[in-house]
Amino acid sequence: MEKIRFGQTDLEVSVLVLGTWVTGGWAWGDADDGQSLRAILRALELGINFIDTAPVYGFGRSERIVGQALKEWGARDAVVIATKCGLEWDEKENIRRNASPARIRQEIDQSLERLGVERIDLYQIHWPDSKIHLETSMETMLKLQVAGKIRYIGVSNCNREQIMACRSVGQVHSLQPPYNLFERESEKDLLPFCQANGIATMAYGGLCRGLLTGKFSGEETFPRGDLRRADPKFKPDRFRQYVKAVDQLKRVAEKYHKSVAQFALRWVLQQPGITTVLAGARTAAQVEENVGVTGWQIQPEDLEAVEKILTTRIKTPIGPEFMSPRRE
């Protein structure tokens, strides 16, 4: 497993991060706790030492399963745990942003308990809260750092100006932006900014909500509660357009004896400003598939071939702006 220094921290992490949104069984269809646990343990066996979770992933469920896996694995210091704060929900699972000092202080203690750890390696503001100045949220994060509850501070879903607001108070160690072959808004100025300022990145959505797995025909529909139901990429006409592009990408991936999903994640890792890439997994078999993104390189001529496919097949790219914490 390839490892890399995580920005300006002392963390040595796998370039592939195990994402656990699906582990919570929310927004992606239900998940099996036993399978999820086995998937996490298999990831650790294969050298993935970086796990990303959040309280909102299954409303505590994902963090609890990660905590159980850590307990079974035993070697806590060998695993880098990232979780988040700044979202809250009610009894009907309606989610809203809340990055107030009181909410952050409440969440950190809950996360520590669910994960069964004394300190979180990377604590991230999940979404900027328009009602709370980011400077105020950052002040609370710094106090948690001084108290020894967290090691490093990150942000997620923030733009350049929001990161700068945080940096006016204290050091931001990482950003978690959406980024994949089909959603590339981050490369305009956000990734160059992070690269210039030593901010590590953890790209999420690398498979574009399954679109880059190559498993869709373009005729599928999604049930209520599945976030793809609201994504314009999965509306009939556009869905088929993206599927045709994936079919062409498959041919390039075959040159490397890789699946299109492995190829898509490898592509992300080779982009300027990217430190690590997230990949979720329901099962141990999916973890084993994801691990195939490391240990090889896409050659320059094939990177060029990818650009040609995208410019000819995707007439009007659609960004990830629809991805918000609100329920459908």
Token pair for 294: 């490391």
For residue 173, name the pLDDT band (cuts at 50, 70, 90). Answer: very high
Q: Are 87 and 132 in contact (CB under 8 A)?
A: no
Answer with the residue of higher pLDDT: 222 or 113.
Answer: 113
pLDDT confidence bin for 302, thresholds 50/70/90: very high
Q: What is the pLDDT of residue 136?
A: 97
Q: Is residue 241 part of a domain?
A: no
* pLDDT digit string, tens, across residues 120-155: 999 999 999 999 999 999 999 999 999 999 999 999
Confirm whether 47 is domain-assigned. yes
Asked whether residue 50 is assigned to any structural domain, the reply reads yes
pLDDT confidence band for 218 (50 / 70 / 90): confident
Q: Is residue 130 part of a domain?
A: yes
Which residues have a Cβ under 8 Å from the Cβ of 85 and sit 6 or more positions away?
A: 55, 99, 103, 104, 107, 108, 111, 123, 124, 125, 126
Q: Is residue 229 very low, low, confident or very high in pLDDT (cuts 50, 70, 90)?
A: confident
CATH (domain of 92): 3.20.20.100
- Model confidence at 324, in pLDDT bands (50, 70, 90)? very low
Instruction: Clarify whether 57 is annotated catalytic.
Output: yes
What is the number of domains present in the chain?
1
Angle between helices 33-45 and 61-73 (to 10 degrees): 50
| 1 pLDDT above the threshold of 60 | yes
Q: How far from 181 is each of 186, 307, 321, CA to CA, in Å?
A: 11, 9, 15
Query: pLDDT at residue 326 above 50?
Result: no
pLDDT at 323 over 80: no
**Predicted confidence band of residue 321 (pLDDT cuts 50, 70, 90):** very low
Using 50, 70 and 90 to split pLDDT, how confident is the model at 22? confident
- Mean pLDDT computed over every residue of the chain: 90
What pLDDT shows up at residue 320? 59
**pTM (2 d.p.):** 0.90
- Evaluate if residue 67 carries a pLDDT over 70: yes
In a domain, 165, yes or no: yes
Share of the chain above pLDDT 90, in %: 72
Higher per-residue confidence, 237 vs 323: 237
Q: Kindly tell me if the per-residue pLDDT of 225 is higher than 70.
A: no
Burial of 137 per CB tally in 10 Å (0-12, 13-18, 19+): buried
* Predicted local confidence at residue 146, as pLDDT: 97
Domain extent for 102 = 3-210+259-297
Q: Is residue 244 part of a domain?
A: no
pLDDT category of residue 82 using cuts at 50, 70 and 90 = very high
Which of 220-224, 226-230, 272-276, 277-281 tops mean pLDDT?
272-276
Q: Is residue 289 part of a domain?
A: yes
Instruction: Give yes or no for a contact between 207 and 180, defined as CB atoms under 8 angstroms apart.
Output: yes
Alpha helices in 86-155 (DSSP H): 101-115, 134-146
Banded model confidence at residue 214, pLDDT cuts 50, 70, 90: confident
7 found inside a domain: yes
